[in-house]
Amino acid sequence: MTTSAAKPWYVIRTKPHQEEIALLNLQNMSVEVYYPRLKERKVIRRKQREVIGPLFPGYLFGRFDLSTQYHSVKYARGVRNVVAFGGIPTPIDDTVIASIRAREQEEGIIVLHQPPLQPGEAVEILDGPFKGLVAIFERELSGQQRVQLLLDILATQARLVIERDKIRRVQP
């Protein structure tokens, strides 16, 4: 039998919302499985919450011997199929997996951070009474997830303090 390092990685498509079921079943079959997850902020019931979900919903990466384990992997509980082109499962390069793993932080979870804003940058307000208005980023407030903005309103500039996740950079 070949070593794990000699086996190529394949993309495994799961049934909807069954990534964890497929993960457990494939691990029970001695398949090396990589399930990259992402921590992000989402609005749930009008509140910002951090949630952890799949980086690629509906997909896992599996390292297995195609000649001996393909049938078992393809028909494992939670698996829809092994991604193939022209009917032939296509291996992916180890560097793809390595580059995804390089972005992991805590417990194999990828955290997307917004790049820092620079004073004078235009931002759009995403929530609250000023939703949809464009303001000028002034500074981040220390130790808080809040920022100070300058808002042009009624021909004057007003300072506004708002949560960092309620603004986004305006693309030029």
Could you give the percent of the chain with pLDDT greater than 70?
Answer: 89
Range of the domain at 157: 122-169
Question: Residue 2 above 50 pLDDT?
Answer: no
Q: Is residue 117 part of a domain?
A: no
Which pLDDT band, with edges at 50, 70 and 90, does 1 fall under?
Answer: very low
Residue 83 lies in a domain: yes
Question: Are 154 and 79 found together in one domain?
Answer: no
Q: Note the pLDDT tens digit of each residue in 23-80.
A: 999 999 999 999 999 887 676 776 767 788 898 999 999 999 999 999 999 999 999 9
Number of structural domains found in the chain: 2
Q: Report the pLDDT value the prediction gives residue 168, as an integer from 0 to 100.
A: 83
Q: Same structural domain for residues 13 and 53?
A: yes
Residue 140: the pLDDT is 82
User: Could you tell me the pTM of the whole model?
Assistant: 0.65
State the chain's mean pLDDT as an integer. Answer: 86
Confirm whether 95 is domain-assigned. Answer: yes
In this predicted model, what pLDDT tens digit does every residue of 10-21 receive, in sequence order?
A: 999 999 999 999
95 and 12 in a common domain: yes
CATH code for the domain of 158: 2.30.30.30
The full 3-state SS of 41-61, as one line of letters, equals EEEECCEEEEEEEECCCCEEE
Q: How far is CA 117 from CA 3, 50, 76, in A?
A: 47, 21, 46
